[in-house]
């Protein structure tokens, strides 16, 4: 297969990631080489399947796969145990055995839910990911975290269960909404800041091409981001320590999402704000010099930060941070960049400094907050 191919070594087996424009027609043949069963379940959502389902099904049936399709409603609300239960029924109806793959065609919601089902059906059947959102291509499809939500919290029931194969076709991003694309782009920049300084410089030079979703550059950027995540995951698959640098921007980002009941921000939008505020903390606490901080802010600022919802207070955001802290042995740990391409985990318990950073955003004092409506 042309394009980029990389292997991620995990505890169980190698996960192969193929990255190439126009890749969907290859799925059937690649699966045939790995799995003898000939039966599969394809999980997708009602937005993605009409766009790309036929191409994947054609490629599978051309290789004599017997495929059952299960579609979920788009969006976070489908990522539940009830949703998983419906998919277990579909697994039985598809006649899956322990070697039959579950194939996830969609964004992070489809990937997390189908991945959870693959991890648990018959104690685990092979998982194949075909991520179709930018966030899923550079983040959720690689790394092996699968989960469903519980009424007490997001992603509370889950496992580490890496896919066997991941097919990343950046061309499918053409149909993604601009808002979703920009939210994913925030995660792309994240890798440049915390792990790959050369990639950060490339993004500084070519950011317009990324934002324009230019096919050639998009494939390069997605591949660099996936490689970066793969390096981190290979060092620490089970998030004992180093992998937590991937949570850069997530401490405040999660708190913003939770304080707004997961309705106002997309995940990547909240993480973008979290990254900007973490850079400000890193500078104030003298972990990061002003010059790299300025460069990071200039790049992040090109995505424009979503303005805060009316009435949200720093106290409400900090209350959500505190809730997180209780779950993590009473310590608030931030991932702070210490130079471009590297980050540290730093306990920060000075609430005044944290509140000042949050108020800088809530008070409208960041110079790249978007104008316009609340949605």
**Residue in 229, 269, 297, 320 annotated catalytic:** 229
**C-beta closer to ligand NAD: residue 112 or 237:** 112
Closest C-alpha among 47, 50, 49, 59 to residue 22: 59
Question: In the range 270-299, which residues lie near ligand NAD by CB under 6 A?
Answer: none
- Tell me the residue ranges of DSSP E strands in the chain: 4-9, 14-19, 39-45, 66-72, 102-106, 127-131, 145-150, 153-160, 165-168, 333-339, 342-347
**C-beta closer to ligand NAD: residue 83 or 107:** 107
Q: What is the residue-wise DSSP string for 220-272?
A: HHHHHHHHHHHHHHHH-TT-SSGGGGGGTTHHHHHHHHHHTTTTSS-HHHHHH
Q: Which of 28, 83, 101, 108 binds ligand NAD (CB under 6 A)?
A: 108
Taking CB atoms within 8 Å and a gap of at least 24, the contacts of 124-127 are: 124/98, 124/161, 125/91, 125/96, 125/97, 125/98, 125/99, 125/100, 125/101, 126/34, 126/35, 126/99, 126/100, 126/101, 126/102, 126/163, 126/164, 127/101, 127/102, 127/161, 127/162, 127/163, 127/164
Q: Which of 4, 80, 180, 284 binds ligand NAD (CB under 6 A)?
A: 180
Choose the stretch contacting ligand NAD; rule: CB under 6 A; options: 28-36, 172-180, 195-203, 366-374: 172-180
Active-site residue 7, yes or no? Answer: no
Residue 3 binding ligand NAD, by CB under 6 A = no
CA 221 – CA 206 distance, rounded (Å): 10
**C-beta closer to ligand NAD: residue 79 or 126:** 79
Which residue number is nearest to ligand NAD in terms of Cβ? 108
**Residue in 190, 254, 306, 320 annotated catalytic:** 254
Q: At its nearest, how many Å lie between ligand NAD and the CB of residue 130?
A: 10
Put residue 329 in one of left, alpha, beta given phi > 0 → left and psi -120 to 50 → alpha: left
Q: At its nearest, how many Å lie between ligand NAD and the CB of residue 295?
A: 25
For residue 171, give the 3-state DSSP assignment: helix
Active-site residue 89, yes or no? Answer: no
Q: At its nearest, how many Å lie between ligand NAD and the CB of residue 256?
A: 15
Active-site residue 250, yes or no? Answer: yes
Residue 139 binding ligand NAD, by CB under 6 A = yes
Put residue 373 in one of left, alpha, beta given phi > 0 → left and psi -120 to 50 → alpha: beta
Residue 226 binding ligand NAD, by CB under 6 A = no
Q: At its nearest, how many Å lie between ligand NAD and the CB of residue 174?
A: 8
Choose the stretch contacting ligand NAD; rule: CB under 6 A; options: 45-53, 218-226, 320-328, 351-359: 45-53
Q: At its nearest, how many Å lie between ligand NAD and the CB of residue 233?
A: 10
**Residue in 20, 145, 164, 306 annotated catalytic:** 145
CA 23 – CA 279 distance, rounded (Å): 37
| Residue entry with tokens 């995660």 | 187
Q: Which of 28, 83, 107, 163 binds ligand NAD (CB under 6 A)?
A: 107
**Residue in 187, 220, 237, 257 annotated catalytic:** 187
Structure tokens at 69: 């399709």
Residue 140 binding ligand NAD, by CB under 6 A = yes
Q: At its nearest, how many Å lie between ligand NAD and the CB of residue 297?
A: 23
CA 23 – CA 314 distance, rounded (Å): 45
**Residue in 20, 190, 250, 320 annotated catalytic:** 250
Structure tokens at 173: 């991003």
Residue 75 binding ligand NAD, by CB under 6 A = yes
**What's phi and psi for 304, nearest 5 deg?**
60, 130
Would you name the residues annotated as active-site residues?
123, 145, 187, 229, 239, 243, 247, 250, 254, 267
Residues engaged in binding ligand NAD (CB under 6 A): 45, 47-48, 51, 74-76, 79, 106-110, 112, 132-133, 135-136, 139-140, 143, 145, 155, 172-173, 175-176, 180, 267
């Amino acid at each position: 297969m042309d394009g980029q191919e990389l292997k991620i070594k995990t505890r169980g087996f190698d996960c192969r990631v193929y990255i190439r424009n126009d890749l969907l027609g290859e799925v059937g043949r690649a699966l045939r080489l790995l799995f003898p069963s000939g039966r599969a379940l394809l999980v997708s959502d009602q937005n993605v399947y009409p766009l790309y389902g036929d191409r994947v099904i054609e490629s599978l049936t051309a290789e004599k796969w017997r495929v059952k399709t299960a579609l979920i409603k788009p969006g976070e609300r489908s990522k539940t145990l009830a949703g998983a239960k419906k998919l277990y029924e579909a697994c039985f109806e598809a006649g899956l055995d322990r070697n039959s793959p579950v194939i996830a065609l969609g964004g992070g919601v489809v990937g997390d839910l189908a991945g959870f089902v693959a991890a648990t059906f018959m104690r685990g059947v092979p998982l194949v990911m075909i991520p179709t959102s930018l966030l899923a291509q550079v983040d959720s499809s690689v790394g092996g975290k699968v989960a469903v939500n519980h009424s007490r919290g997001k992603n509370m029931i889950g496992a580490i269960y890496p896919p066997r194969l991941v097919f990343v076709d950046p061309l499918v991003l053409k149909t993604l909404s601009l808002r979703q694309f920009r939210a994913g782009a925030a995660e792309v920049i994240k890798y440049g800041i915390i792990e790959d300084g050369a990639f950060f410089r490339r993004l500084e030079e070519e950011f317009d091409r990324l934002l324009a979703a230019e096919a050639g550059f998009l494939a390069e950027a997605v591949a660099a981001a996936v490689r970066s995540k793969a390096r981190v995951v290979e060092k620490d698959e089970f998030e004992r320590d180093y992998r937590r640098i991937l949570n850069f921007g997530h401490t405040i980002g999660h708190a913003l999402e939770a304080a707004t009941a997961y309705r106002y921000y997309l995940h990547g939008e909240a993480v973008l704000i979290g990254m900007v505020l973490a850079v400000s903390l890193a500078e104030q606490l003298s972990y990061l010099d002003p010059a790299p901080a300025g460069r990071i802010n200039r790049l992040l600022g090109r995505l424009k930060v979503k303005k805060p919802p009316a009435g949200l207070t720093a106290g409400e955001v900090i209350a959500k941070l505190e809730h997180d802290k209780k779950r993590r042995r009473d310590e608030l740990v931030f991932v702070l960049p210490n130079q471009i391409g590297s980050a540290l985990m730093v306990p920060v318990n000075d609430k005044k400094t944290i509140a000042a950073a949050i108020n800088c955003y809530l008070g409208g004092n960041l110079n790249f907050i978007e104008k316009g409506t609340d949605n």
